[in-house]
Structures are given as C-alpha cells and as structure tokens.
Amino acid sequence: MWAKDVLLNSQAMLVLAIISGFLFPDIGSFIGSYMVVVIAMLMTVSMRKVSIRGLTSYQWRDVLGLLAVNYAVLSSVYFLVAWLLFDGVYQSSIILLGLMPPAVGIISLTYLLDGALETSFVAEVFGYALSLFLIPLGMHLSLGDTVSLWSIGKVLVYMIIMPFIVSRGVRWAESNAAVLTEERFKIVFNISYASAFFGSIALNRDRILANPETALWMAAMLLSVRVMMSVMTHSWLKSRLRHPLDVDFVLFSSLKNGGAALGFAVMLFGAEATLPLAVNAAAAATHIVLLESYFLPRTR
C-alpha cells in the first residue's frame, strides 16, 4: 500500500524525480529523449477536465489579465534580472527565458492545484498564438536575432491542441467505463509529471555539476524570482480575486516555458549558454513543491 500512497502523492513523486535525475542520469536521459510524449500524456490527462461548454463561459478580462501578468510583468522582471545580474551569453539566455510564452505545464498545475482550468486553457492557447508575434519582435529588439515560427507552432500543436483533441476521447471513456477512476488518472498524472522532471534534470545534470557554485547561485536567483512573483501576486490579488482564479494568476505570474528557451539558446548561442536554463529546471521543480505545499492543503 505504501507504493500506492507514494504514487498518489505528487509532492513525494516530484522530490523523488529531482533526486533520481542526479543519481540515475542514463535512465533519466532515456526518458528525456521521449519528453514530448511524456508531456503530451501529462497534458491529455489534465485537459480531460476541460469542458467544451465551459470554454464559452470564461471571462475575457481574466484571460487578458493572465496574459498581461505573464508577458508584461514576469517578462519585465526577467529582463531586469538579466541586465543587472548576468552578462555575456548567460544574460542572453535569461532574456530568452523572459521572451518565452507561459509554461505548457501551467495547465497540468492548474488541474493539480484545483485552479480555474478552462480559463487557464484559453489563456495558454492565446499565449502561444501571441508568442508567434512577440518572440521574433522581442528577439529583434533585445538580441538582434530571429527564431523559427515553425518551432513555436509545433509546441502549440503537439503540446496543447493534439492533447486536447485526445482528451475528448479520454473524457468520453471516463464517463462510460467505471474502471477509469479519478485515483487511477491521478497515478498516471503523477508518473508523467515526475517523469518530465526526471528527464529534464537528467539531461542537464552534467552542465549543473560542471559548475556547481555558479549553478547554485543561479538556482537561488531564479528560484527567488519565481517565489517572489508568486507571493507578490497572491498577496496583491487575494482580496480581489475569487478562488480558484487566484491559482491561475499565481501560475501565470511565475512560470515561463524554460524548455523552449533551452532549445532556442542552443540554436542561437550554443550549449555553453544553456547553464542558466538547465539550472532553471531544478529551480522550477523546487518552486512547484512550494506551490503544492501552499495550495494543496486548502484545495484538496
């Protein structure tokens, strides 16, 4: 029974994934090579709760607010941190992170933390559509480079649109098969969730361990940005927003697509520029554990 208890505990699974990523890099790297499949499965399980009917009831003001918090506020914070605390290719990598759309995993975290799933889904779709214009413009203005719109479009199709389509079939099967219980979906979600972080950390393990002091400093800095934005957003909005929308705003105010930033950094600047983004994966995992510790006790 203890194994089942661990599989149902997302925090325990995430901690095990972080540790395993450093201890078993070969296994983690193998899983990491199938990261698109792992994340697509995670997204499918999460989005089965999205109702087509619910998509017509969201408030445009809420969606625009989420996009503004992510693209205007969080991006500005990353730009400021990059120019004040980093230099050279590391500075360029942090600027890239600031230019990225909201993290794909926000939808899964909205599900996990019992947020407003339909609102988060719509904001995520529009966030990636908006990135087709904002990322090239931002790179031209800040870095003088451009990026392939096709690579952004693939993220939108593979990580959001296709899992949403598949989730319609899963939603139908769930309503017609008693064996597909919420508990079993929770186990599948947690395994996929942990596997994504296991693979991400394993793939970046060598870069992190090659510069441990620099990596530790960067991790502390990037984690501080995430936690600061989460705490400030929640403190400012807690008397203005109803639950569960407060969860969405905390997530959009602190999470960018670090995986996309890592890929762009390799293409534009080479592997030597990716240390801050490799460290960002570990910071993201720690940040999510902290978010779960705060939100889960009062929502589940």
What six digits make up the tokens of 217?
């400093």
221-227 long-range contacts (CB < 8 A, ≥24 apart) are 221/81, 221/85, 222/276, 222/279, 222/280, 222/283, 223/283, 223/286, 223/287, 225/77, 225/78, 225/81, 225/254, 226/254, 226/255, 226/283, 226/284, 226/287, 227/254, 227/287, 227/290
Per-residue pLDDT at 82: 92
What is the number of structural domains in the chain? 1
User: How crowded is the C-beta side of 56, counted as CA atoms within 13 Å?
Assistant: 2
**Cis? peptide before 297, omega within 30° of 0:** no
Are 255 and 103 in contact by the 8 Å Cβ rule? The answer is yes
147: left (phi over 0), alpha (psi -120 to 50) or beta: beta
What six digits make up the tokens of 38?
């792992």
Q: What are phi and psi of 261, to 5 degrees?
A: -60, -40
Q: Which of 259, 264, 250 is nearest to 295 (CA)?
A: 250
Per-residue pLDDT at 286: 83
- The amino acid occupying position 117 is L
Q: Which residues contact 113 (CB under 8 A, 6 or more apart)?
A: 247, 251, 291, 292, 295, 296, 299
Per-residue pLDDT at 300: 46
Exposed, middle or buried: residue 1 (CB in 10 Å: 0-12, 13-18, 19+)?
Answer: exposed
Are 134 and 67 in contact by the 8 Å Cβ rule? The answer is no
Per-residue pLDDT at 57: 60
Per residue of the chain (300 residues), give pLDDT as tens. Answer: 677 788 877 778 878 888 888 899 888 778 777 777 887 787 788 777 777 666 666 577 889 999 999 999 999 999 999 999 888 888 888 998 998 889 877 988 888 888 888 889 889 888 887 887 787 777 767 766 555 666 666 766 777 788 888 988 888 888 888 777 878 888 888 888 788 778 777 877 887 788 788 888 998 999 999 999 998 988 887 777 777 888 999 999 999 988 777 766 766 676 667 788 878 877 887 888 888 777 655 544
* C-beta neighbour count of 253 within 10 angstroms: 25
Q: Which of 135, 154, 132, 170 is nearest to 46 (CA)?
A: 170
Check which CATH number belongs to the domain holding 172 and give it. 1.20.1530.20
Cα 212 from Cα 202, distance rounded (Å): 15
* C-beta neighbour count of 227 within 10 angstroms: 16
Per-residue pLDDT at 148: 60
Q: Which domain holds residue 240?
A: 2-299
Per-residue pLDDT at 299: 47
Is 0.85 surpassed by the pTM of this model? no
Per-residue pLDDT at 266: 65
Cα 156 from Cα 162, distance rounded (Å): 9
SS3 assignment for 218-257: HHHHHHHHHHHHHHHHHHHHCCCCCCCHHHHHHHHCCCEC
